[in-house]
A and B are shown apart, each in its own frame.
Chain A
């Protein structure tokens, strides 16, 4: 079973990585993550917003109300300089972990 720490880590990495491309509101953010991971990562509302609020607390992202073309108000999240700073080491750590797991599984199957 995947521990909550790993789950949280992957979720944060996913959000920060997607927001790197530009600001998005919550629903669109969840949709992009689902699309870009071919449905491997899915965020329900209940999982997404507590995490976004926590990441906002940590000042990795910032949410502002904006009005879209169809006149709807949406809270858009964008990456802050602190979030950008957090993203690179997080990407490195996860890349290292996946490389290590790949080596391990290759050895196991050999």
Chain B
């Protein structure tokens, strides 16, 4: 008898789903083929005929792969939205709103570390609040069933967004420098970039991540054991 599991795995190897979901699809389709094959054998067909008839179930594996992906992607997009984008954007909005409130309403001034071009600005009250923002991002992701890595991404999302903005501004800044013929020395540009990176991305990112790790430490384990129980219940039902 052919190894249907292996056959399906090979034919649908390009199925772009997460590994667990992909395994489930492979197992389910393999079980279907196996059952069809056994039915043909019971009807008295030779092994070769039974295999041929079973294989007629799928005329185009690529087409099947595409159809499965389309059918399941709706769920993938919804999960991604609930587990990453919504918690991440909420964390971003909250951290930005809190920083703006500190600056505009309370007139909080940054603490400066270093001198000259390399001065790093720290808004201490903002940094103090960021672990809670990280906790919120990770917790919302966890509640939506997010994996550990998704939880971590959701918690550091504000810092990641700033990194993206930073990367976008860098080439734009270089073009402006060229156009305005404002020749700044490499050292000045590099030290400014580094200080901004430390003050706005590295340190806030680390603080946000600390919040995410707290959630993982306290709730992550409970969630894993709950998932295991659920899986056990359905398997032996």
Contact = CB atoms under 8 A, between A and B. Distances in A.
Contact residues of A: prevailing secondary structure: helix
B72 interface: yes
Interface in A6-58: 25-27, 44-46, 48-51, 53-54, 56-57
Interface in B32-64: 32-33, 35-36, 56-60, 63-64
B75 interface: yes
A53 B32 CA distance: 15
A50 B72 CA distance: 8
A72 B75 contact: no
Interface stretch (B23-31, B134-142, B161-169): B23-31
Interface residues of A, number: 22
Interface stretch (B93-101, B111-119, B189-197, B229-237): B229-237
B170 interface: no
The residue in A25, A26, A45, A72 that gathers the most chain B C-beta atoms within 10 A of its C-beta is A45
A24 to B, nearest CB: 12
B107 to A, nearest CB: 51
Given A45-B33, A46-B57, A26 B64 contact: no
Contacts of A67: 235-237
Interface residues of B, number: 28
Interface string B63-83: 110011011101100000000
Given A26-B32, A50-B67, A74-B31, A66 B235 contact: yes
Contacts of B35: 27
Given A57-B74, A67-B235, A50 B28 contact: no
A55 to B, nearest CB: 9
Q: Identify the interface centre among A27, A44, A56, A72: most chain B CB within 10 Å of its CB.
A: A27
B29 A49 contact: yes
**Residue among B31, B74, B235 with max Cβ neighbours from chain A (10 Å):** B31
A56 B64 CA distance: 17
A74 B24 CA distance: 10
A73 interface: yes
Given A27-B32, A64-B237, A73-B31, A50 B68 contact: yes
A48 B63 CA distance: 13
Given A46-B67, A49-B28, A53-B68, 15 more contacts: A27-B32, A45-B29, A45-B33, A46-B57, A46-B60, A49-B25, A50-B67, A53-B71, A57-B71, A57-B72, A65-B234, A66-B237, A73-B27, A73-B235, A75-B24
26 contacts: A25-B31, A27-B32, A45-B32, A45-B57, A45-B58, A46-B57, A46-B58, A46-B63, A46-B64, A49-B28, A50-B67, A50-B68, A50-B71, A53-B68, A53-B72, A57-B72, A64-B237, A65-B234, A66-B237, A67-B235, A67-B237, A73-B235, A74-B28, A74-B31, A75-B27, A75-B31
Q: What are the 8 A-B residue pairs with the smallest beta carbon separation, nearest first? A: A53-B71, A50-B67, A45-B57, A54-B71, A27-B35, A64-B234, A46-B58, A50-B71
